[in-house]
Structure 1
């Protein structure tokens, strides 16, 4: 109970900090709408136009208030990653739109790794027994696979990042339960999520530069997206080739469960 109260206190404190940071924006660029002028309000985009508008607003802040926009973006990313909240693809795309493909990629990789490490530490301090209680079958399966691949543990974790048989957020909260050393966890995240981060960041950079949905289907844009996809497949293919001979991942599906577990669940129903 004490561990749960501590986790709630950490989440509450981080939430208050992020709320105060996001609601005290410096003056932004005036926008024309319905013949009048108004200031843009920070919100999650629901379509391409809003994504471009948000990217333009952040680009303005980057020019005029660079330290603030960097602090806000890093804080939001670390908050999401530390507390296992979905949305990394959107934030990676936003990083590409604001900071460009290469600076955005470096930033996304560093924030993904740092946030995942915070999630690892939070789970280690506050939630290890809660993880076991909530996901006993999945934890048991991963425990068996970690023991079977103990001699190639780093490559096994890379394999799971390249081919997400288990969601990344679940790996982050489960690795402390599996007694994965923090250095191995850290570098497996840093290296293993580079292809995913690259795809999202480069896509965000491309989308921020187009003026309409028709531009997505231009030969230039399609060629860039094809190169991105091919580049991202190379490290995964190498790990998969290595995994055929050295790693034992039989029985795991895309949700991190085994066929035996599925049949067992069906019998219980």
Structure 2
């Protein structure tokens, strides 16, 4: 293994180790967030909101870059803390940067080995990625059933260009980001996390959107494919 790969591997291992050693994963729960909000997030939001945004952004990038658990709940938390518009902007860029770093880590550590080891099996996939990699990635980003961290890692093993991956991911993840952040923003209007408090129109609509989003995404993908087929025929 080359020196650069060893450095990347060491950074990944140290990063994951620190994440669990310092108990950051314990904060990514409802109780953890409530305690953290009362002790640190709330006061910082009042006194230094830009510092809070910067810290949240860096943590989000860190979590997604190392493919750690918690990106989905952090997206909801972004809406809870920052509201819909600011939350979407923060998560949209942080998630795309983190995804691209995870993509590059996968490509650096495993790309050459996988392409060499399974060259014959990957020939068709590589050709497909080269021909319509952007559209293929876009459809994957719209399907919540496929975890985003898996897409990041797998795409790193293909010949898709880094800039193309970044731009398509930015656009493809945006609808899901809006839905999840909106759910968090709706929760921010609830004074108490009780059964009666949660049954408000905004929250009901938000969670209906969360449930319906996979079907909406499939409809969008199907519509794009139909239009693409019509263009090919013409």
Same fold (TM over 0.5): yes
Report the Cα distance in structure 2 between the residues aligned to 1:46 and 1:165, rounded to whole angstroms: 21
8 Å contact 2:129–2:160 — kept in the other structure?
Answer: no
Q: What residue number does 2:134 align with?
A: 154
From 205, 216, 225, the counterpart of 1:223: 205
The yes-or-no answer on 1:77 pairing with 2:77 is: no
Structure 1 segment 1-269 matched on structure 2, within 5 A: 1-2=1-2, 5-11=6-12, 14=15, 43-44=26-27, 46-47=29-30, 50-56=32-38, 57-129=40-112, 140=121, 144-145=124-125, 147-148=127-128, 150-164=130-144, 166-210=146-190, 211=192, 212-226=194-208, 234=216, 236-243=218-225, 246=228
8 Å contact 1:152–1:246 — kept in the other structure?
Answer: no
> Can you list the C-alpha shifts for 1:112-153, whole angstroms capped at 9, x where unaligned?
11111111222232332466699x69x957x63453464433
8 Å contact 1:95–1:104 — kept in the other structure?
Answer: yes
Report the Cα distance in structure 2 between the residues aligned to 1:204 and 1:133, rounded to whole angstroms: 44
With normalisation by structure 1, the TM-score equals 0.67
> Can you list the C-alpha shifts for 1:15-41, whole angstroms capped at 9, x where unaligned?
69989xx89xxxxxxxxxxxxxxxxx9
CA apart distance, 1:227: 5.5
> Can you list the C-alpha shifts for 1:128-186, whole angstroms capped at 9, x where unaligned?
2466699x69x957x63453464433111111111256432222123232110112111
Q: What residue number does 1:38 align with?
A: none
Distance 1:59 1:232, change over 3 A: farther
Report the Cα distance in structure 2 between the residues aligned to 1:171 and 1:223, rounded to whole angstroms: 28
With normalisation by structure 2, the TM-score equals 0.76
Distance 1:149 1:15, change over 3 A: closer
Distance 1:46 1:178, change over 3 A: closer
Q: Greater helix percent: which structure?
A: 2
Number of residue pairs matched by the alignment:
225
RMSD: 3.7
Distance 1:184 1:151, change over 3 A: same
Unaligned runs of 5+ in 2: 230-234
Q: Which has the larger radius of gyration?
A: 1
8 Å contact 2:15–2:66 — kept in the other structure?
Answer: no
Unaligned runs of 5+ in 1: 24-40, 248-269
CA apart distance, 1:228: 6.5
